[in-house]
Amino acid sequence: MTEPRPPWSRRRRRTLIGLGLAAVLFGLAGIGLPDQYGLAAVYLGALAAFLLVVALIVFVAIPGPGTVDALLRSLTVSGAVLVVAVLLVLSTAGEPLRWLWVLAALAAAAWLGTALWLNRRDGPVG
């Protein structure tokens, strides 16, 4: 028998509602605005929708308090982020925004190192 999940905090509900509203409002604003502003609004709406899906997945996967600590200690997620970031660095040779992916790869490497250190020091959470 599984134990019941704790109810979501007010902060989690506000985050999901805010991202949902941003996705809808920016998407609708993209229809009425001139081309250059409308396209930017649609991109922001798509980004808000993507972040809404990511937040929903994280909130379902990691119930209750301690979400940041659980993610910080997650070796699988940090390793996957590092792999994707390195692949993006390798695929953007000579591109103007390559520095952004290099920074993302460095941040992912720092995240993986932190997760390894925390898990070795204290053991995994749970």
Domain-wise residue ranges, the chain: 1-64, 66-126
In a structure prediction context, what are the per-residue pLDDT tens digits for the chain, which is 126 residues long? 567 777 778 888 999 999 999 999 999 998 888 888 888 899 999 999 999 999 998 888 877 777 888 888 889 989 999 999 999 999 988 888 889 999 999 999 999 999 999 988 886 665
CA–CA gap between residue 74 and residue 77 (Å, rounded): 6
CA–CA gap between residue 8 and residue 62 (Å, rounded): 11
pTM for the full model?
0.66
Tokens 């053991």 correspond to what residue?
123
